[in-house]
Structure 1
Amino acid sequence: MFGHSACDRGGGHVADNLEDRVEKVWTAALAGDDHGAADVALAALDDGLPPEDLLLGVLAPVQSRVGDAWAANGVTVAQEHIVTAVSERVLAAVSRHPAARARHTEDKGRATVACVDGEWHAFPARLLAELLRLHGWRVDYLGPHVPTPYLPMHVNGTDADVVALSASMPSRLPAAHAAIAACQETGKPVLAGGAAFGADGRYAHLLGADGWAADGLGAVEHLAGGPLRRRTRPGEAGGHRPPPAGEEFDRISGMAQDVVSSVMWKLGERLPAMAGYSRQQLDHTTKDIGYIVEFLTIALYVRDPELFSRFLLWMAGILTARGVPESTLFPALDLLAGQLKDFPHALATVEHGVEVLGREEGKDRPRHPF
């Protein structure tokens, strides 16, 4: 994601200090103690730690840690939100520290930083905004879940030099595609970042972004020479999804809820234990089937079966951490395949996912699928 990169440019002693500060901020954040976490961060700045090192070497690792802890069933969703909220308040405090304000001297240009429509994981984008300010950019940070029509309105109204768009989940790629195209219609270049775009940025390039960065430091370096150059003319961003995969995406997206309901209806016959499920367990199972169908459609959208396979491996790890055997995925996938006889690309994607999951069954799972 934008911003999620640890730094160690000061030798072993600095690294040890960073690890100690990460631990202290983590402990305070998990307890909801924003004042305590801010005290640790501000004391580090008072001790001479560069603001950029604090952001990338302390706050970013704390956010990565809470995501990993959630995946391992070590924290609840509520605790994950608490840690993120504390991190945001610490970031705000850091931005007002004299050490951070002193860096705001050079004028590189104006940047708009936003999360695409439907993307609520805003901390990486918020961190990027502060990093860009530290490097002389005037930044308009628009926050999470920015409706696509408002992006070009803002860009035109402020005459931004570059737009940085963040997305963490591949399910946001269609929205990212629309946002990239809308911003490029203004004639401005778009830098994409976040796990949604793939570890190597393949989906950013596929959807027409003018640049991609793996993390906040990469984004800063990408823009070190000033705004990006446009790769395409306005109106050409991303191109058109070629059939037939694009047609299958549209049709399966339209019938997704019916597919989920059909799979759930028949799954009880394959998994007798479901007869004893509580309402909450049934709701969780329905949501999981919904995610499977959603990621299948996204794999079709970007024409990459491996995206779906990576998601299945990640979901297997999530289920295992919560005491649910990953083998329960196979009957659900078999039932899903039965719904896709008229969709050859979707069916092949599911079959490939089942093959990969079977081959990797029981092995360590990736902490993040993208």
Structure 2
Amino acid sequence: MSTVSLFTPIEFGDLFLPNRIVMAPMTRRRALYGKIPGELNALYYKQRSSAGLIVSESVEVDPFSAIDVPTRPGLTNAAQEAGWRLVTHAVHAAGGKIFAQLSHMGRTAHPSQLLEGRQPVGPSALAAAGTVYTSTGPESYATPRALEIPEIGTIVSAFASAARRARSAGFDGIEIHGANGYLIDQFLRDGSNTRTDRYGGSVENRTRFLLEIVASIGMHWPANRIGVRLSPTNSYQGMSDSDPLGHFSEIATLLDPLGLAYLHIVDPAVQTSGQPVTRPAIRSSFGGTLIVAGGYERTRAEKVLASGGADLVAFGEAFIANPDLPHRWRQHAALNVADKSTFYTPGEQGYTDYPSLSWSLSRK
């Protein structure tokens, strides 16, 4: 066992991080009309700047996503870029670092969330299981239209365009969202990708879309500022794969020579589904920096770092309720409890009003 802990600094690509505590990407639905981040978003991220690294909430690259839908912010136009500049300036002023997580919803978008009567798209005409949150409440997922090959190239270009805007907006790097049932994940897993062309069939073919996106973003960012997030066993939004252990080990092998900043794996610390734990196999397949996420608390996080099983650990809900999470852990202080009823509601309640430790002590 090594002496590495959550508070051991790390050279991260060409960045220096003061600790190994990552704020995980978390959708919060607080963007302004037009999917534009505002001052409230800037305050939220600034409050959490003591994380070694912040990964932003999922940012849409799809220019055809309706501007009035209460979902995620975008990075497809100058107004959205300016909004994110507020966020990055606030984080940097507080001494933090932040990567933009870029994503395309693919088949998980509802038709009401798209412009010009467009339909959701995916690798294959297979609907996701469950429901999607819309402005009128939960709705069943629609059957997507299978993408034509030229359209795939257009989406790759959309990722590149958003990455260019992210650099202009002052982000420190890019995380490509290949997890949790969104479009890239839909291509990667054989439960949602039944294509028979060069984007389907073998693991190498199913990974082609992701690799093309990495290459396109590489036109605007060096590889050591680009990360990838994967979720091999996550069944969210009806996702499945016939062999997650074997397939994602091979995907990690394909990513290994690219010189990426990191690979970010959603691999639950405690397995409840009977799915295999993929982290050890991916660790042996990917020689670069590995971030793990998935229900880790401090004790389990320290164990996985000390064992060499990962280099950093990402935390979600704990950061929602504890803007100063690293400071609280350093002080062995109690944590605030997150109010799940306000995770996706508008305004500052449950967003920027959780007290810091210094505020809590001053009230005693």
- TM-score (normalizing by structure 1): 0.28
Q: Which of 1 and 2 has greater Rg? A: 1
Q: Which has the higher contact order (CA 8 A, sep 6+)?
A: 2
